[in-house]
Structure 1
Amino acid sequence: MTVSAPQPTTLQEELAQLKKDKNAVILAHYYQEPEIQEVADFIGDSLELAKKAAETSAEIIVFAGVHFMAETAKILNPSKRVFLPDLNAGCSLADSCPPEAFRKLKEQYPDHVVVTYINCSAEIKTHSDVVCTSSNAEKVINSIPPEKQIIFAPDKNLGKYLMQKTGREMLLWDGACIVHEAFSLDKMLELYKQHPSAKIIAHPESETHILKIANYIGSTSGMLNYVKGSEHDTFIVATEAGILHQMQNDVPQKTLIPAPAKEDNTCACSECAFMKMNTLKKLYDCLAKETPEIKLSEDLMKKALVPIKRMLQLS
């Protein structure tokens, strides 16, 4: 008698089987929904995921994140197929830096070194000398000879923070992330009064007045490591609320409080609507149907790869 193998019973189990059948890998950002993080092969911030994308031997990459992240994965893997569950999952920060306007600014300052935060379009990367993430931005800026002037784009808040940290003057593009500019200082101070022993941790994309009251400022992975290594047991977390899933998994005994947003919303925190466009069902359909696929011209990928490789070498 032939006994058939038990059939997968959940979408997550079906997805696991599909990955195996297609030699696919799922990369997910910390800001994704918990159920997506749970099926991902790798979870990380922009730098960690860029490294994983460069190292993977999988034939197919499904990027559970936003558009510029999937573009970066494709640039690092031009011969592989890269998919994004929802092509509309964009980025307010990347959108704040239109390529044509940025090109005109660069033409005005031809002697400046152009450093761009990875949260920008592939086309903006082609106008860059080196890319950075929040994890390695300070290192990248410090690697540039002091006599060289710098254009930093697109995040003005991260740029201001780096100027303060490195002592370098930079010409800043006037861009920002709507998620990290949504935190309310008044509400946060009120929250701190209720939890006076809490440590405030913040992402450097946040506005200066938020960073001034933070006990720790760092990248997404930096914040996770800080909470894991700290002797304190309560934290107010000023970044996209999706990070709380992994953070709570790492420190189940600690109290994590999302920093309050200016606007009233269901979670009373700051969430990226673009990140949340991806769902487990879209992720499954994306891999099953092999669409939508990220497609970039060979010329664009070659040009954009140069500053990304420089970043990875520095990292």
Structure 2
Amino acid sequence: MNSPSDSANLKSAIRNLKSAAGAVILAHNYQVPDIYDVADFIGDSLELARQARTVRSRLIVFCGVRFMAETAKLVNPETRVVLAAPDAGCQMADMVTAEALRARKSELGDVTTVAYVNTPAEVKAESDICCTSANAVRVVKSLPADQRILFVPDRHLAAYVAREAGRPLLDSRLPIPDSRLSPAGIIPWEGFCYVHASFRAADVERARKEHPDAFVVVHPECPLEAIDAADAAASTSGMVRLAREHGAIVLGTEAGMCDRVRRDLPQVRCWPLRRSALCRNMKLTRLEDVQAALEGAMPEIDVSAEAAGRARRALDRMMEVPGR
């Protein structure tokens, strides 16, 4: 950990390098506060994708995980994109591959594939439309009700979306390729986020006892039992909006999200549902990594032209769905 003076010097150097390089720094909400301080924009996956799409700088330095940097490259192919921490992956994104998805689609026959943005570019390329936790319900509602939907890769988000969109949740093992014999609904992939999947109703009940005046909101990647016990489910951007409405809030997501709330809304009392709920990959990015990325020491994000074109279409379809 850097001393305060070292951090201040690094931040000053980063700002100078950023100006010289004509760069923009995008950071996910789960980054550490030091990264917030040098970022030009902080947000959730949907906000960052929209921001990346409009960037007119020569370089995007992304502080997050690989699939997010790939998404930035897909929506802004003419801009160089560098992931500040090249080893920052996502375990859930790795739970689905393009090869496995192609095989599953072949088994199911007539199916529409909705890919959570927490997927590799090659998986997005095999999908019909993408979604984020902020717009997943709207995306599914935008599809005809008589369609069968294969939702990859998060099974918990699939269950939440199915309920909120009024679509049946089907057996993930459904083998029937004949759409005449299989009802419309959502077929989940069996992936999960190890941070959010660990939350239970008991965590919410404990939080209510410890903070009886607090509003409890959890991420839709959580199991339904945690969602049902909470006051609301929301993406991280939604959590910030809810925090503005409540003087005290408990967040059932990556524990560092409270750092974001405290930064923007210092008057709000904020507690993580569980202090140990940390994403290892999101915490890999250091100020030194951002500096190195601006100095050209990190490899650029590259997506094959064949995959990029099809993945971009799935992302563009998502962007066209109305709503914030």
Q: Fold-level match, TM-score > 0.5?
A: yes
Partners of 1:25 and 1:199 in 2: CA distance: 35
Which residue of structure 2 lines up, in the alignment, with residue 249 of structure 1?
Answer: 263
Assess, with a 3 A threshold, how the Cα gap between structure 1 residues 249 and 86 changes in structure 2: closer, same or farther: closer
Q: Counterpart of 2:151 in 1: which secondary structure? A: strand
Tell me which amino acid in the other structure corresponds to 1:172: P
Instruction: Kindly state the Cα deviation for residue 34 of structure 1 after the two structures are TM-superposed.
Output: 0.6
Q: CA deviation at 1:269?
A: 2.8
How far off its partner does 1:284 sit? 0.7
Task: Assess if the C-alpha contact under 8 Å between 1:151 and 1:173 holds in 2.
Answer: yes
Q: Deviations over 1:174-194 (max 9, x none)?
A: 000001112354344223212
1:250 positional shift: 2.8
Deviation at 1:50, TM superposition (A): 0.3
Tell me which residue corresponds to 2:188. 172
**What does residue 76 of structure 1 align with?**
75
Aligned equivalents of 2:13, 2:146: Cα separation in 1: 56
Q: Does 1:183 align with 2:199?
A: yes
**For residues 31 and 65 of structure 2, what CA distance do their matches in structure 1 show?**
10
Q: Does 1:259 align with 2:279?
A: no
Equivalent runs, 1:64-103 vs 2, <5 Å? 64-103=63-102
Alignment partners' CA distance in 2, 1:251 and 1:215: 20
Give the match for residue 270 of structure 1: 277
Contact 2:92–2:154 under 8 Å retained in 1: yes
Amino acid at match of 2:294: L
In the TM superposition, residue 253 of structure 1 has moved relative to its aligned partner by: 2.0
The one of 300, 306, 315 equivalent to 2:313 is 306
Name structure 1 gaps, 5 residues minimum: 1-7, 261-267
* 8 A contact 2:253–2:273 mirrored in 1: yes
Shift of residue 220 of structure 1?
0.7
Measured in 1, the distance between the counterparts of 2:28 and 2:34 equals: 12
Query: Which one-letter code corresponds to 1:121 in the other structure?
Result: P
**Structure 1, 59-68 or 93-102: larger mean CA deviation:** 93-102
Inter-partner Cα distance in structure 2 for 1:293 and 1:211: 38
1:235-291 residue CA offsets vs partner (Å, 9 max, x unmatched) = 21101122112211232222211112xxxxxxx331100011111111111111241
Cα distance, 1:9–1:145 mapped onto 2, change above 3 Å = closer
Which secondary structure state, in structure 2, belongs to the residue aligned with residue 102 of structure 1? helix
Counterpart of 1:265?
A: none
Q: Secondary structure at the match of 1:37?
A: helix
Matches within 5 A, 1:11-160: 11-160=10-159
Secondary structure at the counterpart of residue 224 of structure 1: helix
In 2, Cα distance between equivalents of 1:300 and 1:256: 41
* Structure 2 unmatched ranges of 5 or more: 1-6, 168-184
For 1:137, the aligned partner's letter is: A
Report the CA distance between 1:207 and its aligned residue: 1.2
CA distance in 2, matches of 1:42, 1:251: 16
Taking the aligned partners of 2:244 and 2:134, their CA distance within structure 1 comes to: 17
Corresponding residue pairs, total: 299
TM-score by length of 1: 0.91
8 Å contact kept, 1:114–1:128: yes
Distance 2:240 2:46 in 1: 14
User: CA contact under 8 A between 1:23 and 1:58: conserved in structure 2?
Assistant: yes
* Higher mean displacement: 8-17 or 150-159: 8-17
Structure 2 CA distance for partners of 1:148 and 1:89, relative to 1, 3 Å? same
* CA offset digits 1:75-132 (Å, max 9, x no partner): 1122221101122100011011122212110111231111111111101001110000
Q: Supply the distance in 1 between the matched residues of 2:310 and 2:73 (Cα, whole angstroms).
A: 13
Q: Are residue 202 (structure 1) and residue 218 (structure 2) matched? A: yes
CA–CA distance in 2 between the matches of 1:210 and 1:223?
A: 16
Q: Normalising by the residue count of structure 2, what TM-score does the alignment of the two structures yield?
A: 0.89
Alignment partner of 1:286 out of 267, 283, 293: 293
Q: Distance in 1 between matches of 2:304 and 2:284?
A: 26
Give the Cα separation in 1 of the matches to 2:15 and 2:50. 22
Q: Is the 8 A contact 2:218 2:252 kept in 1?
A: yes
The amino acid of 2:242's aligned partner reads Y
User: What amino acid maps onto 1:210 in structure 2?
Assistant: A
1:157-212 CA-to-partner distances (Å, cap 9, x unmatched) read 11000111111120110000001112354344223212222211111001111101
- The answer to whether the Cα contact below 8 Å between 2:62 and 2:84 also exists between their aligned partners in 1 is yes
